[in-house]
Structure 1
Amino acid sequence: MNIFYKILLYFQKHGYYVCQRIADRLGMRAKVVRTSFIYVTFVTLGFGFALYLFLAFWMRIKDKIYTKRSSVFDL
């Protein structure tokens, strides 16, 4: 049972960041975005979860490729 809580803690720390970034981008509260994903997942039988994973993957790739540099010397 201890490993279950470790996995749950990992997803709570790293998984909710996707909702936070989407909420910041849209100017909403993160709680509203999280509940929206939960409702979409139940209504569409898993499509919301697949969409969540796709957005997490896309944001991760975008962060790896696009980095803001403050000057020319940061290359």
Structure 2
Amino acid sequence: MGFITNIRHFFEKHGFEVSSRLADKLGMRASSVRLFFIYISFVTIGLWFGVYLTLAFWLKLKDMFYTKRSSVFDL
């Protein structure tokens, strides 16, 4: 249990340090930088989910208009 806690504290310390350094370089608050990364991650996930739904809709639409017959006897 102590090993996992130490790993978690290490990543929390150094992970927050990245956004703090970036905020110092840009002259912003660190919380604004963190919120920006959170919002960007939601946008990118939502974008690809939208692409997935669009492709699924197109495939379903294609299947409605074009049906492949497996044999001559299906006429």
Return the TM-score normalized by structure 2. 0.49
Which has more helix, going by share of residues? 2
> RCO greater where, 1 or 2, for CA within 8 Å and sep 6 or more?
1
Greater Rg, structure 1 or structure 2? 2
